[in-house]
Structure 1
């Protein structure tokens, strides 16, 4: 899929929002600016919807055309996209405890196996905790291709809708049940993070919303185009649903928020993603300066921003005469510099190496084979 300005805008907004939220690690943005970061955790849910849509579109389009499912090629490309930068950041966390934003770190094998979000002891080990969302994404990459292949062997709109409804209602019931169980027992640990917020099976709503959009785009292109023509209405509806979810999330750890807030939030962000694909819509009409670059480096920024914040807080801020909000440009510049370094020195070379080592034949050979 070609780069779309609207999707780049959403991705850049999401990464900035997440980093503002994590500014609490160094005291936040100061009095009067808490509203900028209060719901910043929802930036991750924007990423989930985008991932579900982009990966779903990529896989479903090929399956819809009758192409075989090339799992080796899919996993190869995902591994080279994710692992080089992740391995470098993980190595820094493991080898240099002084760089960590929190003292405790889970065992390296939990990060390497992408099971950190399933076995974390959050009370003791909070360093590199934002890797939980990457674990969720990796589980999606592992299982979704097989599920998509199984469903497209005999496509059925009724079965697909039934599965989506089942997953949404199942998630509501599961989160509500776990919340009520833990609220009654009050175990001596951070059970909200460990049992509800981090586990993959609790956080499928955003990915599911993205996959539903992908299925609509691939299998109902006429309806997709009609919806794109109503992008302004989609933006308003998406914002209304997100606002309703945020109203529920006033108590972020409450029952109603965690039972039904996640699907509402995901549907709201889904509406914004659909609107962002419309070339003539408000979100996708023209590129916003800087948004494409932020979107391109967003993965490296996400991985490294806590390291950068901690470095400024520990070694740079104490020697500067500024305090509070005046330090914000220093934090911002350092975060962007570290993320850009990771992107250009590790992430991009990894992608180039992926293309050189790709097990698939070049496009010219594929075209010749098809012609023969």
Structure 2
């Protein structure tokens, strides 16, 4: 998720991603994932995960694109890339997982999933999505991080052959777009394969199911070198339209992966349109209203701690439900969202400050 040294507007858009993820979880916990348009719309705020994935694909593939443009034959150093990813991701994550397990050593958990040493190991190693029963309360959102670390590992595996053998270390955007465009099919193929009989249902949450979002970000890194403008108002309008459309019944029920494969593909495709529509105008650096908003100080500041916010907000939501006197699947989604955000921000800031010396 987190990548440092980026365009401020791309940091600011992470605030939108984190806020929407928090909102959809608040909606779920307060019982607003209902089987109607409003319930599906609340669920679709999970699109923030797509924003994170597309951003990662763009930012992590960009150094490869720049090296190809330079045509020096020098590729981004793998060891440095891996070490930076580990330093940025692992410390804050490990602290969060450890804290949650300590909390539930004293707090009653309504679920028995993910407990014990095996559950702790699963969650620490981000293998909790492989097989049923390992998603611990307070850490259920980490399924997306488990998928994203697979993309971190896969990126050089994809990028190096692209640069060395497909492009021959030359700037060939046509070939990059063709190959990456083909790789977009990985997710729909995986979706149809995992919706068949006799397939582990947790496979629907594995990295290939959402790979098209990461690849869409990689495509943006290529396209950014070819264009000079991206109309912000039209692009944001298309993104909003795709988001509103995604809540239609054709895109499935209020859940991460709908039970119908066609619905799952439709929903994931619309999410990609939303993310590209919101991020696209920011990659060209135009001085439009959307870029100015995303690079504003509050947005950038919150974007800087968005990873830590993502890590802690579900555990905070647990306490907020108690604080507000809400039983599970009851209460105001607005109050739950606002209070959870208000508490999560300072907690995330402390976690960010505590771990930043390890990666800066």
> What TM-score does the superposition give when structure 2 sets the normalisation length?
0.80
Residues 214-236 of structure 1: CA distance to partner in whole angstroms, max 9, x if unpaired? 1222xxx3x321xx243333333
Change in 2 beyond 3 A, CA 1:102/1:128? farther
Higher relative CO (Cα under 8 Å, sequence separation at least 6) belongs to 2
1:231 aligns with 2:236: no
| Residues 232, 281 of structure 2: 8 Å contact kept | yes
Which position in structure 2 is the counterpart of 1:86? 93
Taking a change above 3 Å as real, the CA distance of residues 138 and 101 of structure 1, as seen in their structure-2 partners, is farther
Give the deviation of 1:28 after TM superposition.
5.4
- Partner residue, 2:292: 285
Which of the numbers 268, 271, 280 marks the counterpart of 2:277? Answer: 271
Distance in 2, Cα, partners of 1:331 & 1:288: 23
Deviation per residue, 1:114-137 (Å, 9 max, x gap): 222233436x85551211111121
Structure 1 residues 281 and 257: CA distance shift in structure 2, 3 A: farther
2:155 matched residue in structure 1 = 144
CA shift, 1:57, in A, is 1.0
* Contact 2:321–2:336 (CA under 8 A) maintained in structure 1: no
Distance verdict in 2 for CA 1:64–1:301, change over 3 Å? same
1:144 is displaced (CA, Å) by: 0.6
**Counterpart in 1 of 2:120?**
108
Partner of 2:48: 43
Gaps of 5+ in 1: 353-372
Cα separation, partners in 2 of 1:162 and 1:23, compared to 1, 3 Å: same
The residue correspondences of 1:110-129 to structure 2 (distance < 5 A) are 110-121=122-133, 125-129=136-140
Q: Of the two, which has the highest radius of gyration?
A: 1
Determine the structure 1 residue equivalent to 2:176.
160
Query: Within 2, Cα distance between the matches of 1:263 and 1:26?
Result: 26
Residue 345, structure 1, aligned to residue 354, structure 2: yes
3-state DSSP of counterpart to 2:292: coil
Classify the secondary structure of the residue corresponding to 2:129.
Answer: helix
Does residue 207 of structure 1 match 2:219? no
More helix by share: 1
Change (3 A) 1:313 1:243: closer
Task: Determine the C-alpha separation between the residues in 2 that align with 1:127 and 1:30.
Answer: 19
1:64–1:109 distance in 2 versus 1, CA, 3 Å: farther
1:1-372 matches, cutoff 5 A:
3-24=6-27, 26-27=29-30, 37-65=42-70, 66=72, 67-97=74-104, 98=106, 102-105=111-114, 107-121=119-133, 125-154=136-165, 155=167, 156-157=172-173, 159-179=175-195, 181-182=196-197, 191=201, 194-196=202-204, 198-217=205-224, 221=225, 223-225=226-228, 228-247=229-248, 248-252=250-254, 253=258, 254-277=260-283, 278-286=285-293, 287-314=295-322, 316-318=323-325, 324=332, 329-346=338-355, 348-352=356-360
User: What RMSD in Å do the two structures reach over aligned CA positions?
Assistant: 3.2
Distance 1:290 1:304, change over 3 A: same
CA separation of 1:230/1:318 partners in 2, compared to 1, >3 Å: closer, same or farther?
Answer: closer
Q: What is the CA distance between 1:56 and its match in structure 2?
A: 1.2
Once residues 143 and 310 of structure 1 are traced to their aligned partners in structure 2, the CA distance between those partners, rounded to angstroms, is 34
User: Using the alignment, how far apart are the partners of 1:56 and 1:101 within structure 2?
Assistant: 42
